[in-house]
Amino acid sequence: MLLSASVKISSVKDALAALLKDYEVAAPVSDGANLLYSYITDPNDVVFSDQLPYKSPKEFLLPQTEKILAFGEDSAEDIQEAKKTVIFDVRPCDLSAFKRITDKVFSEGKFKDGFYMRRRKASATIGMACKSLKPGCFCNLRGIDKSYSTECDIFLTPAGEDEYIAAAHTPVGCDLLKSCFRSVPAAFSPEPAELSETLEICSEEKDVFEKVNWDAMSASCISCGTCTFVCPACHCFDFKDKGSVRYRVWDSCMYSAFTLHASGHNPRAGKPERFRQRFMHKYVYMLKNIGESACFGCGRCTRKCPAGINARRVLECIKAEAAGGSDG
């Protein structure tokens, strides 16, 4: 922590107004049916609540659709669009998804993704503590402290009735705190949270692949892909050319066209294989490839699944079945 200060809750809207002068600001708003992160023009539209917006804020770093290239007869132009953005009220689960998954995948691996990196560099995150676990949340079993995070520029922790303690973790965060927030320096030493043991599948990859009854596990899934769209850590994408523009769009492993080859062959031909891919990618392959499971227990998939599939239950069942008898 570079700086800590106390901020009156009543002054946060003024701070957002100050930020709006230089930045695009994305914050939770209500569209009548749902709470969701959206670019705001008026701080009064921001909804302050303990609820999690139904989609993660990943769209501000990895938009659902983005133009990446425009080409003419003998020219090609790289489209480099990255607006200066502040994402406000991001919870520890989503902050970890940015830091430990999308950052690693798009900017720390063998291939650097300029589009993501430009957006990330132009963005600041203001985190916020969660007061309670919402139905479906299981961040406590995914190694996340819901009440504190350092994986952001500024983190706000409620202190008393009308105050936040703002902790700035980066030089950008210090600047924003000093320039846009009316704050009074205050000492802050967050208490380390007592975390439950992390729920991980401990079996060999081969055992998870072969011993789990994926047919039964996926029986009620309707392959809608909602889980992947609302997830902060899912990041699969596809390209689409239209006219002289190339777009990148989100893809979903739940779709029948995912991994469909030009020949018509699909190595993951059916729902059980696609369901297996989603869970193994999250909890087995990512752990092996980058040292982090791609799930932080935000519970969005569970809350939005039309078939009532509970991700934590599925994870527990996979763990148990994979560790089961050798003849599966």
Partner 1 sequence: MTEEKLSIIEALKTICEDLFSKRVISRVLAFTEGEIKEIPVVSLITNPEGLKGLKWDESCNKPLAKLLLGLKPKTAIIARPYDARAVVMYINENQLKRDDVFIIGVGKDASDFPVFDAFAKDPSPLQSAREPSPSRGSLDFFLAEIDRCILCYACRQACWGCYCPSCFMERGIPDWTPAGVGREAKIAFHLGRTMHLAGRCVECGGCKTACPSGVNLKYLIDSLTQMCYEEYGHKAGMEEGARDPLSDYRCDDGQPGFLE
Q: Considering only 27-35, 122-130, 154-162, 188-196, which stretch makes contact with partner 1 by CB under 8 A?
A: 27-35
* Contact window for partner 1 (CB under 8 A) among 42-50, 73-81, 194-202, 246-254: 246-254
Question: Per the structure block, which two tokens stand in for 239?
Answer: 């390209």
157 binds partner 1 (CB under 8 A): no
- Using CB under 8 A, count the residues that bind partner 1: 43
Q: Binding of partner 1 at residue 247 (CB under 8 A)?
A: yes
Smallest distance, Å, CB 256 to partner 1? 7
From the list 128, 230, 294, 318, which residue makes contact with partner 1 (rule: CB under 8 A)? Answer: 230
Beta carbon nearer to partner 1, 189 or 263: 263
CA angle in degrees (0–180, nearest 5) for 14-18-23: 135
How many other CB atoms are there within 10 angstroms of residue 81's CB atom?
12
199 scored as a contact of partner 1 (CB under 8 A): no
**196 is a contact residue toward partner 1 (CB under 8 A):** no
Half-sphere exposure of 53 (CA within 13 A, CB side): 29
Residue 96 in contact with partner 1, rule: CB under 8 A: no
Tell me how far the alpha carbon of residue 36 is from its chain's centroid: 13
Contact status: 285 vs partner 1 (CB under 8 A): no
Q: How far is CA 230 from CA 36, 76, 94, 305, 321, in A?
A: 10, 33, 11, 10, 27
The Cα–Cα gap between 225 and 256 comes to: 10
What is the sign of the dihedral through the CA atoms of 111, 26, 165 and 197? Answer: negative
Rounded to 10 deg, the angle between the 12-22 and 171-180 helix axes is: 110
Token pair in block for residue 108: 């720390």
Q: Does residue 76 bind partner 1 (CB under 8 A)?
A: no
Choosing from 10, 39, 49, 65, the residue that interacts with partner 1 (CB under 8 A) is: 65
**Residues in the site for partner 1, rule: CB under 8 A?**
31-34, 36, 54-55, 64-65, 67, 135-136, 216, 219-220, 222-226, 229-230, 240-242, 245, 247, 249-250, 252, 255-257, 302-310, 313
